Amino acid sequence: MMLMKTTILLFLGLLTFSTSADCYKYAGKDVISWTAFKTPAKAGVGGEFKKFTITPKKAQGTLDEMLNGATFEIDTTSVHTKNAARDKKIVKNFFSGVTIKGKVASLSRKEIEVDFMIKDTKRSVPMSYEVKNGKLLAKATIDVFDFMLHDNLKAINKACYALHEGKTWNDVNIALETTLEDCK
């Protein structure tokens, strides 16, 4: 019985080591997307930011070596929802004067802790992630009120009052997809 426990622990340890020691190269092929919500039924409105910079800590290495300390900055005027009129309204009424920057504070096996700086307010946001088929997929939900965006939410709600049936939600799903190449 003791041998079986030791074997299982050794196997789990090797599995953990092999996963954390995988070597990747940052490919620079990224998508930053979001889903905001409107109407009392909480209908999702999806979009992306088309202009942003992501600077990994290292261009290649383990996920920890690449991501821990990585920084990003998003151009909030680059909203793209596949509806130009809506994009313009979002930029004017929600993102006017808003900057989004951040830094990866830490990385564990299941979570990336990201320090977001939005409109001069810093908050730590845990993002769950997985690496699958050569892509890192990270996601989280943020509350715009945590970043002092009350007036911004009021402005977009007022501008879209009829379309949103009087309700624009304060929670927003965010996601990052980045391509990782094998560095072997």
User: What's the rounded Cα separation, in Å, for the pair 28 and 87?
Assistant: 25
pLDDT recorded at residue 183 = 84
Domains of the chain as residue ranges with CATH: 25-182 (2.40.128.110)
pLDDT recorded at residue 12 = 40
User: What's the rounded Cα separation, in Å, for the pair 61 and 127?
Assistant: 21
User: Dihedral, CA atoms, 123, 173, 76, 57, nearest 10 degrees?
Assistant: 60
Helices 84-93 & 150-159 angle (0-180, nearest 10):
140
**Residue 62: count of CB within 10 angstroms of its CB:** 17
Please give the model's pTM, rounded to 2 decimal places.
0.86
Q: What is the DSSP letter of 1?
A: -
| Tens-level pLDDT at each residue, the chain (184 residues) | 444 443 343 344 433 333 445 899 999 999 999 999 999 999 999 999 999 999 999 999 999 999 999 999 999 999 999 999 999 999 999 999 999 999 999 999 999 999 999 999 999 999 999 999 999 999 999 999 999 999 999 999 999 999 999 999 999 999 999 999 998 6
Pairing of strands 71-74, 100-107: antiparallel
pLDDT recorded at residue 37 = 99
pLDDT recorded at residue 21 = 57
The 3-state DSSP class for residue 130 equals: strand
Q: What is the DSSP letter of 43?
A: E
Q: Are 162 and 5 in contact (CB under 8 A)?
A: no
The single residue listed with the structure tokens 């999702």 is 44
pLDDT recorded at residue 99 = 96
